[in-house]
């Protein structure tokens, strides 16, 4: 049932560290735009050990939660059911509290990636490259399972990580080949490059951007632009940012938690851009 503007409901983002999170800015902007004047969205620093007790204290006023690291897997035993999307990568970033009391886990990162790419005109690619092999890389693989018709090459630093990416490929039915990080410059010639590594990791690759690059999806949003993204733009390539991902996954969260659709994408993006500029 869609939420009413007079319903006083709560939502929040949990994780550790959490002070940097833009989620409150995005969700509150959506509530303002939707007229949900009695809704609130907060942030709480919660680690894996403290998550069960946090859940125990939640009352009927709670509509949903956003989960960031390190809670995306730790929350799974605490929900009553998870979506197929979340199950595909063993990661829940959204919990919605149903009217009957059920706690439903979902993953909006994966469709958020697809939506961010679609907004930039990327509906389908014949091949792609992934830089990195962490949790975000598995979500990237799941997104590519929906839009990539051919091989995905993952550039990683260890054989253990390479084995993990190949296993994810088998699980998600994506053709994955792994390559050593030392050869990561080759990734930059792919039709779509998804950078999933921490800040600074891809800086050394900026000098190797080809003259006519295709599309770079860099999941970072702070600091922005990364050196790789700046160089990519300078050479005329299309760049999808971490803020694009953050906004699109938050749009899906707002729609699920409030029952209102469509969520106000433009207002949420403006609020995110303003907050980042203020930092």
Instruction: Tally Cβ neighbours within 10 Å of residue 80.
Output: 12
Token readout for 88 is: 């595909």
* DSSP labels, 162-230: HHHHHHHHHHHT--EEEEEGGGGGGGGGSSEEEE-SPTTTTGGGGGG--SS--EEEE---SSSS-HHHH
- Could you tell me if 128 and 102 are in contact, meaning their C-beta atoms sit under 8 angstroms apart? no
Q: Is 72 a catalytic residue?
A: yes
Q: What's the rounded Cα separation, in Å, for the pair 123 and 155?
A: 23
| Burial group, residue 133, by CB count within 10 angstroms (0-12, 13-18, 19+) | buried
In the set 16, 57, 72, 274, the catalytic residue is: 72
Q: What's the rounded Cα separation, in Å, for the pair 36 and 29?
A: 10
The catalytic residue positions are: 72
């Amino acid at each position: 049932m869609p939420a009413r503007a007079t319903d006083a409901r709560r939502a929040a983002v949990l994780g550790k560290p959490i002070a940097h999170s833009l989620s409150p800015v995005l969700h509150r902007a959506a509530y303002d735009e939707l007229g949900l004047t009695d809704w609130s969205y907060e942030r709480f620093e919660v680690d894996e050990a403290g998550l069960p007790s946090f859940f125990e204290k939640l009352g009927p006023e709670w509509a949903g939660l956003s989960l960031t690291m390190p809670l995306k897997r730790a929350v799974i035993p605490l929900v009553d059911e998870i979506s197929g999307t979340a199950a595909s990568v063993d990661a829940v970033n959204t919990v919605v509290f149903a009217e009957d009391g059920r706690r439903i886990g979902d993953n909006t990162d994966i469709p958020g990636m697809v939506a961010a790419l679609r907004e930039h005109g990327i509906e389908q690619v014949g091949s792609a490259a992934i830089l990195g092999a962490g949790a975000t890389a598995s979500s990237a693989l799941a997104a590519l399972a929906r839009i990539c018709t051919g091989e995905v090459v993952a550039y990683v630093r260890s054989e253990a990580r390479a084995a993990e990416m190949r296993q994810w490929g088998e699980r998600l039915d994506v053709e994955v080949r792994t390559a050593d990080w030392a050869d990561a410059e080759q990734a930059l010639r792919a039709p779509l490059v998804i950078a999933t590594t921490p800040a600074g990791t891809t800086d050394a690759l900026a000098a190797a951007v080809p003259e006519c690059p295709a599309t770079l999806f860099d999941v970072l949003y702070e600091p922005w632009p990364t050196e790789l993204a700046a160089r990519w733009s300078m050479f005329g390539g299309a760049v999808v940012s971490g803020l694009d991902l953050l906004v699109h996954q938050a749009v899906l969260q707002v729609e699920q938690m409030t029952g209102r659709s469509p969520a106000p994408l433009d207002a949420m993006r403006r609020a995110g851009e303003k907050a980042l500029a203020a930092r």
